[in-house]
Structure 1
Amino acid sequence: MSGATHVTAPGPRLYDRAAELAAVARLTAPAGDGGVLFVTGGPGEGRSVLLARAADDFPGPAHRVAAPGHRVPWSGARALFAALAPGAPEARRALRTARGEDGLAAAVSGLLGVLPVLVCLDDLHLWDAHSRAALAAAWRRDRAPGRPGPRWLVSAARHHRLPDVPGAETVRLGRLGPEGARALLLNLCAPPPAPPVVRRLVEEAAGHPGVLVSAVRRLGTARLAGGSPLPEQPVDGAVLTEVYGGFLKHLPADARRLLTVVALAGRTEANRTEASRTEEGRTDAGGREAAHRLPGVAVDAVLGGARAAGVPVEPLDGLVADGLLCRADGLLRFEDPFLGRAVLASAPASRHHGVRRAGAPRPVRTAVALARGERHRADRLGPPAAVRALAPAARGRSHLVRGLAALAGGPVMDAHEALLRAAELLRDRAPAEASDARFLAMEAAWAGGDVAACLAALDCGGDAGGTERDFLDGLGAALTVRLGEARPALARVVARDGAEDDPRLLLRAGSAALVLGDTAAAARIHARALARARAEHRTALLPRVLEHLAYAELRAGRYSRAARTAREGLRAAEPVEQPNTAAHQHAVLALVASVTGDGPAVAEHAGLALGTARPHGLVQAATLAEWALARDELGRGLAAQAAARLVPLVRPGPRGGHFALRMLVVPCFVEAAVASGRTAEARSAAGEYAVWAAQGLDGPAPALLARCRALLAQGEEGEEAAYWFGEAVRRHEGCGNDFERARTLLAYGTWLRRRRRPGAAREPLRDALVTFERAAADGWADHARSELRATGGAVGGTADRTAWGLLTPQQQRIARFAARGATNREIADRLALSPRTVDHHLRGVFARLGIRSRVELPGVAGPDPRAPGQDGGTEAKGLVSSRARRSAGSS
């Protein structure tokens, strides 16, 4: 079905659809105000036919829009606009100027206005996520009561999670009853089929309209008339593939492969039942039906068979949640028996063979032996040479399974070796799986800090092309410090894979963005990967995605988000037993705790990270954990201890820290080394850091380099240190890492105070204090507070009246109320804030003004410009009046 305005023609016939047609009638009633009606159903159950009937019967303008053939972002929105206003330039402008979901929702509403049009959207589950979200926002927009608006009739597969739209109605198509099926069959055939044929087809199709239509189309006139006998299975694999093939094609590949394993195991039980009946002499219709259905199989048998065949088991929970599989009493079965048979019919023969040859448990292995008795022999795959060629593929998948297990909870370089072997064996036989194995092998080597092993994983993709070629070449060039070649290739990966909905490709694009130093893009892309992994119920993939996202947010300076993501990652890693991923998340939490100054938390998380990282060779996680411990020591004034801990992390070579983190650690090392008298080592590290910072791979690097130079110039005569501190503060603007800016301000203020310039030191120290308090970095805030107090700025009676103008308007209002004696609750009521927010602002005011309590506020609070000569008397009276009313009420 293509997006087009309908033409007047006789509507399609529908049978046993009285309730569904009544719901459509309510939606399209002339006196109605519009709304949304969702129609859900399985493949071939008549969703599109119902939409066509509604469009044909609607008296006003009706538009039918199908899902686009591809799911790139906003492709569905473009198809919708093309159908609603073909050739209209204002529609094209509205689409171009719309920004985000809300913008597109407004554009759709504006285009339709209040016209009583009917918009029929088919296959919502195949629309891209961006367009679905924008449509949901458009459906939720308020409309003026009593005014007619657009009617939306939306079809979706039964397993699709519909958006929450207030007032929307949902109807679910089911199977036809016997009379409805007979009526449909007689309508399809001219002349009418023979009565025995009618009975047989109605029985075989089990009320499924699409199956009935396909079976009739394939049987031919002679068989329908009874002149030729019907085949043993009128509803055979070809019929089911025609009905279900499109639905299966759009399922994720891993989900399709797991469904194949379930179907093969189910066929084992069906064949066993049929064999038993044959031995007992029972060949009645019940036996024939049992052979055509797939009974339940043990969950453990399916999981074991899937793992042995290299089939991921992560999609299982999602398939059950979506209603494609039913899990009860330890058994798995297809909710729709036709779907199970369609899976067997549409799956490539090589996939059947791969499952059989991979050491599956007995229910799956038995399927092989019994299948041979039914003429499903291996010789159907081709000549013996082709059969032998499948053995390396099975071995490759076995290596892939072992590599994934080691990557999740074993020595990471063992994982690298197994995954590299899997990529080599699968390269010519299963290119998509080989590509995954290459990327995972590179990830394992990256986690182990082995550049040579990373390059080996990249080099084994010699036959790759397109975006994967760009990824392999770009990352290889970056690892060998050929950034001119790396940047364009990796930028193409970010642009292409970053627009995909496949979480595996999004992980690749996010990794490319991190290598380029685009931390904002990396965080955004990994957040999309997380959303897709959740939507697809990829429980085993979720911890890896959360690990990538936590690190991206950490690099972007979003510490609270990184901590939240890491905690979710820990919860996700525990049930699927991925201790290596958990170690990385503990390392991230340790680093965040070193920012907030929570020493016990740093020690706890770093210890848990190192407990796994050291025996498993997780150099990246170990480096992050050691860095966190050193930052905590530096924050507690243990500079010498911190410098000693950091020396191995900034040292190049196999005994040093992680190659991708070494330069990121240098600014912290320079600060600790200068403070502990290791100036020569600090100067050498800063020189190497200067070369790296010039490459533009880290946003805050220029500011941190200036800070390093300022720290190194502190002991020299002249104003060189002042110049570099000023440069550092200037370059921090716009970098997006407020914590590092606050550390620079703290170092600058401390240097000024020690140069006996307390007045000049107060401003950077106050700014640092406010930032640390905002970030809940209590340890660093205490350090800044003690330095500020040493300048005299925080001592009672020495408040800085000139700093009043530096407060925000909100801070000034809160300070005036507090100066007049208002409580935090009273200020919150007056300004529509929470008492906690008021307290936060007051702490910032105290730090900025250099005072310790609200008792000192009257001496520094400026006049209220809105009440000349009254010093804000109107607002003060309001507070006094409200307080008096409360007192009177309580008395």
Structure 2
Amino acid sequence: MTADTGPVLYGREAELAAVSQLLSPAVRPLGAEPLVRVAGGPGEGRSALLARAARDFPGAACVVGAPPRQVPWSGARALFDALAPSAAAAGRAARLARGPDGIAAALASLPGREPVLLCLDDFPLWDAHSRAAFAAHWRASRPRGGARLGWLVAAAPGRPLPAADAADAAPPVRLPRLCRASARALVADAAGGRVDPAVGERLLDEAAGHPGVLVETVRRLAPGVLAGTVPRPGRLVDDGVLVTVYGGLLGALPADARRLLGVVARACGAPEASGPAPGDPDRAATGPTLARARSLRVPTEALDGLVAAGLLRLRGGDLVFPDPFLRRAAAGEGGPSRAGRRSQGAGPRHPGGPRHDEDRGGIPRHAAAPPDRHERHRADRLGPPPVVRARSAAARGRALVTRGFAALAGGPVMDAHEAFLQAAKVLRDREPAEAADARFLAMEAAWTAGDVGACLAALDLAPAVPGTERSFAEGLRAALTVRPDRARTPLSSVVAVGAAGDEPRLLLRAGSAALVLGDVTAAARLHGRALARARAEQRASLVPRILEHLAYAELRAGRYARAGHAAGEGLRAARATGQLNSAAHQHAALALVASVTGDGPSVAEHAERALAIGRPHGLAQAVTLAEWALARAELGGGLAAQAAARLAPLVGPGPRGGHFALRMLAVPCFVEAAVASGRAAEARAATEEYARWAAYGLDRPAPAQLARCRALLAPHGEETTRWFGEALRHHETGGNDFERARTLFAYGTWLRRRRRPGEARGPLRDALVTFERAAAEGWARQARAELRATGAPGTRRPDPSALAGLTPQQRRIARLVADGATNEEVAVRLSLSPRTVDHHLRGIYARLQLRSRVELSALVAAAER
């Protein structure tokens, strides 16, 4: 074999044969694409096996690993870059992969008809979008012509590998430790053949077939020791070797867990050890060991995590290390800080070759010559082989969670989604509880971004878990796929269980479930309790999230003063903890509150700040709320056409629409603005969709608001009266006084414009009282103006003679505006530009000392009596 034929694989003949057999057409349906899965730990030759399979494949083949930058579709693009003849073809395939026909269409767009083997390494570490697309392609499992494609997909043990379909019973090809003969050949090759037989046999005994330990020991031993010309040390595989090999795992553990693992390791073999083998070097008595840890002020709470991660096991009354090498590394003086340290007598290192050959245990045959200075520098830069660099699943998963929290706090939320998604996959076998948390955090990030598909991907990531987590996942899946009948029971159980506890995290989850169900009273109560507990436990980083959810609950309930208080506190807490994205949500909530109170400058300021953060970070929820706040302020100021134009994309479906959880909530506001600005057809279409959503019963005020929308769209007076009456009857049980006041205001305004001032005064007075109690000064001003227009006692009547002071053009504009015409419609009627109409309208308001179109309409109506 020449130097360019790839790495030598030792002891992998059976695995290579299994891969070759599974790729054979004889073991699969005619025309079906074969999918072979390979599971191998770091340093066990996984990537080298893929490289060898690709080299031996009779057709074309390529090997693609996890892209270094985890962004949506990066994995698929890396594969198409390797397959396509040009960047343009790769881009075209990447675009097709996102379409309805997915990966099949993308691959069909590439030239070439010869059989191709596609080897995907570290597949569980690919981005979620690519994984989902490939998994869907494999699950289809239908014959595809001549099946010119074969798939070889690899991952480390513990990471889930995809199956072609439910009937795919072929187990993954697993890579075991090396047998003695293969280990002997690996040592001889790594040392260039200069190994004394006695030294070699002793090394095989001590390394127990672990390829990473074998290679690292050969690297560290001096040439004379290997050749038998220099007396060998008492132990060839010393603690320094093991600290190097396991240093990545130990160094990634939390400090308390690492210290406790060291205490347990040093206690192993003590006389107190029980069981069938007293004095077992890998066993320590639990009671005395934990007492020793407490005496050294080492927290023992980390024990459960170490056991769940598989680093320790509980047997009877003992703690046992399943891996003796890990026990020695943990007990070694200096611990993981010695990882990567080079001994002065380190001998030759095998040079060159593809990086994955070193990383995965494949050793180039041309390894006899010692490395020169440049090669030693390159080896140090590349770092130790994967067994050395590998970290435990738990530590790697926690690092990903930390990265996700950083992005969730102040970066693009879909970056947080990807990090949490990866963490959940890494942790699912070692730390199932932490994996569930990461899964729900990934869902929360996707929810914030308004990506339903990503929410479902996060919820489907792990198998169902017992208890409230399973109920929460099932309920959210049903809600996201618009099956509310299936969402109520599981989510209601989450609310009930959460209400019985005091853990802030679970209370926050229960409150979120209540919000999805539309139970805003329970949501506010649960989030209030979560806030109190988080403050009592000094969990400052959780406080902004809780206040954000509490503000949303109060907004949904129509309690705007409380919502403003919660959002103000949340904004201060977010700033104090550096959570920029949470601050954007608080600004959006404050903008919506200000749109109710009529504080125009505050609406603009808070909305601008929310949008400045929310747009680049993909905070669809905050962006939708901020735009909604601006539209409500415009509607309250008489700018119905501008409000309708702003709201139209927010209530529309598709990627350009608003956040999926807020889209329907904004429809009543849009209908009001659209009717007032002459967009009745759009208002009617939105109302019909809103009717279907209201029937699900996920929003208590929805039936009343639906009836109000129908009243605004009704073609004649009797039907309008009937729908307003229906709306007010629903409001009696709707639980949102502010929305009831808006219906009363709309009804009173309609009656007044129908020249029924006596009937209009009652609804308008009731609306005014509620607006004043809610500090909704903007709406209160409009209600007072309408009351004045009815001639209600105690209100200042407008002076109709003031209209005589307007120019003829201004009087024509005033009358058209009073009839409900928009600026654009006035411009068309009078052959003017909209800018000229706007200029005249500002002059009219200034001369008549009016503040809105409502007051102008009242003055014109009084003049025409």
Q: TM-score, normalised by structure 1?
A: 0.51
Residues 589/751 of structure 1: CA separation in 2 closer, same or farther (3 Å cut)? farther
Match of 1:232 in 2: 234
Native 8 Å contact 1:201 1:212 kept in 2: yes
Report the CA distance between 1:268 and its aligned residue: 0.7
Question: What residue identity is the alignment partner of 1:201?
Answer: L
Match of 2:669 in 1: 744
Higher mean alpha-carbon deviation, 649-658 vs 761-770, is at: 649-658
Native 8 Å contact 1:255 1:315 kept in 2: no
Native 8 Å contact 1:606 1:629 kept in 2: no
Question: What residue identity is the alignment partner of 1:230?
Answer: R
Residues 208/307 of structure 1: CA separation in 2 closer, same or farther (3 Å cut)? same
Native 8 Å contact 1:120 1:154 kept in 2: yes
CA–CA distance in structure 2, aligned partners of residues 158 and 761 of structure 1: 55
Report the CA distance between 1:176 and its aligned residue: 3.6
Native 8 Å contact 2:250 2:330 kept in 1: no
RMSD: 6.1
Question: What residue identity is the alignment partner of 1:20?
Answer: E
* Counterpart among 306, 324, 332 of residue 337 in structure 1: 324
Report the CA distance between 1:689 and its aligned residue: 1.8
Native 8 Å contact 1:258 1:316 kept in 2: no
Question: What residue identity is the alignment partner of 2:664?
Answer: F
Question: What residue identity is the alignment partner of 2:405?
Answer: L
Matched position secondary structure for 1:232: coil
Matched position secondary structure for 1:175: coil
CA–CA distance in structure 2, aligned partners of residues 95 and 765 of structure 1: 37
Report the CA distance between 1:770 and its aligned residue: 1.4
Matched position secondary structure for 1:229: coil
Report the CA distance between 1:26 and its aligned residue: 0.9
CA–CA distance in structure 1, aligned partners of residues 232 and 449 of structure 2: 67
CA–CA distance in structure 1, aligned partners of residues 15 and 205 of structure 2: 24
Match of 1:693 in 2: 607
Answering whether residue 305 of structure 2 is matched by residue 316 of structure 1, we say yes
Residues 735/334 of structure 1: CA separation in 2 closer, same or farther (3 Å cut)? same
Match of 2:345 in 1: none
Report the CA distance between 1:234 and its aligned residue: 1.0
Match of 1:580 in 2: 504
Residues 544/741 of structure 1: CA separation in 2 closer, same or farther (3 Å cut)? same
Report the CA distance between 1:162 and its aligned residue: 1.8
Residues 656/760 of structure 1: CA separation in 2 closer, same or farther (3 Å cut)? farther
Match of 2:760 in 1: none
Alignment map for 1:535-574 (pairs within 5 Å): 535-537=425-427, 539=433, 546=440, 550=444, 553=447, 564=476
Answering whether residue 502 of structure 2 is matched by residue 502 of structure 1, we say no
Alignment map for 1:132-171 (pairs within 5 Å): 132-133=131-132, 135-137=134-136, 139-140=138-139, 142=141, 144=143, 147-166=146-165, 167=168, 169-171=171-173
Report the CA distance between 1:42 and its aligned residue: 3.1
Match of 1:203 in 2: 205
Answering whether residue 8 of structure 2 is matched by residue 12 of structure 1, we say yes
Alignment map for 1:257-336 (pairs within 5 Å): 260-261=258-259, 263-270=261-268, 272=270, 301=290, 313=302, 316=305, 320=308, 326-329=313-316, 333-336=320-323
Answering whether residue 528 of structure 2 is matched by residue 533 of structure 1, we say no
Question: What residue identity is the alignment partner of 2:37?
Answer: F
Matched position secondary structure for 1:502: helix
Report the CA distance between 1:773 and its aligned residue: 0.9
Count of paired positions: 588
Question: What residue identity is the alignment partner of 2:632?
Answer: R
1:512-545 deviation digits (Å, cap 9, x = unpaired): 35xxxxxxx64x4443344233223374596598
* Counterpart among 672, 686, 705 of residue 784 in structure 1: 705
Residues 592/540 of structure 1: CA separation in 2 closer, same or farther (3 Å cut)? same
1:720-765 deviation digits (Å, cap 9, x = unpaired): 476677567557554443234233157669999xxxx9x9999599
Matched position secondary structure for 1:38: strand
CA–CA distance in structure 1, aligned partners of residues 591 and 191 of structure 2: 81
CA–CA distance in structure 2, aligned partners of residues 774 and 552 of structure 1: 26
Residues 202/585 of structure 1: CA separation in 2 closer, same or farther (3 Å cut)? closer
CA–CA distance in structure 1, aligned partners of residues 404 and 571 of structure 2: 30
CA–CA distance in structure 1, aligned partners of residues 263 and 531 of structure 2: 43
| Stretches of structure 1 lacking an aligned partner (at least 5 in a row) | 277-285, 353-499, 514-520, 635-641, 673-681, 714-719, 801-891
1:135-178 deviation digits (Å, cap 9, x = unpaired): 54555454637835344444432333222334455222223444
Q: Highest relative contact order (Cα 8 Å, sep 6+), 1 or 2? A: 2
Match of 2:177 in 1: 175
Residues 710/306 of structure 1: CA separation in 2 closer, same or farther (3 Å cut)? farther
1:820-850 deviation digits (Å, cap 9, x = unpaired): xxxxxxxxxxxxxxxxxxxxxxxxxxxxxxx
Report the CA distance between 1:235 and its aligned residue: 1.3
CA–CA distance in structure 1, aligned partners of residues 595 and 71 of structure 2: 47
Match of 2:774 in 1: none
Identity of aligned residues (%): 30
Residues 125/252 of structure 1: CA separation in 2 closer, same or farther (3 Å cut)? farther
Residues 564/141 of structure 1: CA separation in 2 closer, same or farther (3 Å cut)? closer
Alignment map for 1:15-54 (pairs within 5 Å): 15=11, 17=12, 19-27=14-22, 29=24, 35-51=34-50, 53-54=52-53
Question: What residue identity is the alignment partner of 1:503?
Answer: V
Native 8 Å contact 2:97 2:105 kept in 1: no
CA–CA distance in structure 2, aligned partners of residues 96 and 303 of structure 1: 58
Native 8 Å contact 1:550 1:585 kept in 2: no
Higher mean alpha-carbon deviation, 110-119 vs 183-192, is at: 183-192
Residues 163/238 of structure 1: CA separation in 2 closer, same or farther (3 Å cut)? farther
Matched position secondary structure for 1:338: helix
Question: What residue identity is the alignment partner of 2:17?
Answer: A
Native 8 Å contact 1:686 1:708 kept in 2: yes
Residues 669/201 of structure 1: CA separation in 2 closer, same or farther (3 Å cut)? closer
| Stretches of structure 2 lacking an aligned partner (at least 5 in a row) | 340-397, 457-471, 480-490, 576-582, 613-622, 652-656, 722-865
Report the CA distance between 1:691 and its aligned residue: 3.9
1:167-222 deviation digits (Å, cap 9, x = unpaired): 45522222344455456667777878666445423321223344345445554565
Native 8 Å contact 1:651 1:662 kept in 2: yes
Residues 554/724 of structure 1: CA separation in 2 closer, same or farther (3 Å cut)? same
* Counterpart among 656, 670, 694 of residue 773 in structure 1: 694
Native 8 Å contact 1:551 1:588 kept in 2: no
Alignment map for 1:521-670 (pairs within 5 Å): 522=413, 524-537=414-427, 539=433, 546=440, 550=444, 553=447, 564=476, 579-589=503-513, 591-592=515-516, 596=518, 598=519, 601-602=522-523, 605=526, 608-609=529-530, 612=533, 618=543, 621=546, 625=550, 628=553, 631-632=556-557, 634=558, 642=559, 664-665=588-589
Report the CA distance between 1:549 and its aligned residue: 6.0
Alignment map for 1:205-220 (pairs within 5 Å): 205-216=207-218, 218-219=220-221
Question: What residue identity is the alignment partner of 1:160?
Answer: R
Match of 1:433 in 2: none
Higher mean alpha-carbon deviation, 163-172 vs 71-80, is at: 71-80
CA–CA distance in structure 2, aligned partners of residues 325 and 138 of structure 1: 39
Question: What residue identity is the alignment partner of 2:503?
Answer: P
Question: What residue identity is the alignment partner of 1:116?
Answer: P
Residues 572/235 of structure 1: CA separation in 2 closer, same or farther (3 Å cut)? farther
